[in-house]
Structure 1
Amino acid sequence: MPRFARLFEAAADTLNAYYQTVAENDIDGLMALWIDEDFASFIDASGSHWHGIDSIRAGLAQLAAGQALPAAVEPLDVRVYDSLGTVVYAVAEAHRLRDPLAPPRMVYTTYVMVHERGEWRIAHVHASTMPNETANEFVAKMRQGQGALH
């Protein structure tokens, strides 16, 4: 019996590849995940806005050069909203910095992916640093086993 691929699992593969390329500090690999359009946009947790592929590449390269790109991104709570051709991930993340002594940064990130030419591509990323009070509540609920947004 043939095995059918589930369409939205491939979008998750793109998100996992994003996390991997960030950890590897691989800007070329990271940019290969983006849609090839000028309407792509990225809002970094620092508040920087980049519009268009060239601007996103330059911004990410600047973060990587300054060691501000996380060493690892750990998804703690993932919400998925999908429709034909578009998947939105709303993710609570711990961004582990390259300094091993620095505490992780708690960040909410939204990823918008579109299905283009048979592949899932990133069209938009919006990251926002969690306020300390929210991050502390989030961590407390995770420790109590209630889930992140319970």
Structure 2
Amino acid sequence: MPRFARLFEAAAETLNAFYQALAEGNIDELMALWIDEDFASFIDSSGAHWHGIDSIRAGVAQLAAKGKLPTSVEPLDVRVYDSLGTAVYAVAEAHQLREPKASPRMVYATYVLVHERGTWRIAHIHASPMPAATANEFAAKVRHGQGALH
């Protein structure tokens, strides 16, 4: 059983490495976390939809050039669904943009990671902006220590 638990801790490490690469604006490090397949896909919270590694790299580079990559991503609520070769993370996140006084953007994100050749790789990300009313309610619950889903 400890080997099985360790397997999914490694999936979380991949997600944390993704957050770190975003914060650093390191596109090469970020792309190294993706599965090297044409079926990889990324739906950004702006609505952009990219298929394949080359398209994802170009899209992320374009966001970086426009200053639209977050300087930090804070996971506020995380739900994990896993099986032997797949881990799915459903996460409510606060994205702090590079603009110094901007309020964090609240985002729902789903990450699909697959276990490939002994390592966890990102196969799909779908991020959506959280509606303003939901974001305010979510933030109030988090501030009051109730957690996201109470």
What does 1:131-142 correspond to in 2, within 5 Å?
131-142=131-142
Runs of 4+ in 1 over 3 A off after TM superposition: none
Aligned residue pairs: how many? Answer: 148
For the residues of structure 2 that align with 1:38 and 1:96, how far apart are their CA atoms? Answer: 30
The structural deviation recorded for 1:143 is 1.4
Aligned CA RMSD, in angstroms, stands at 1.0
The structural deviation recorded for 1:59 is 0.1
Structure 2 match to 1:97: 97
The structural deviation recorded for 1:135 is 0.1
For the residues of structure 2 that align with 1:22 and 1:132, how far apart are their CA atoms? Answer: 24
What does 1:1-150 correspond to in 2, within 5 Å?
4=3, 6-150=6-150
Superposition TM-score, scaled by structure 1 size: 0.96
Structure 1, unmatched stretches of 5+, are: none
The structural deviation recorded for 1:58 is 0.1
SS in 1 for 2:87: strand
For the residues of structure 2 that align with 1:100 and 1:111, how far apart are their CA atoms? Answer: 27
Amino acid of the structure 2 residue aligned with 1:111: Y
SS in 1 for 2:120: strand
Superposition TM-score, scaled by structure 2 size: 0.96
Per-residue CA deviations over 1:59-97 (Å, capped at 9, x if unaligned) read: 000000110000110100000000010000000000001
The structural deviation recorded for 1:144 is 1.7
Structure 2, unmatched stretches of 5+, are: none
Identity of aligned residues (%): 78
For the residues of structure 2 that align with 1:139 and 1:109, how far apart are their CA atoms? Answer: 16
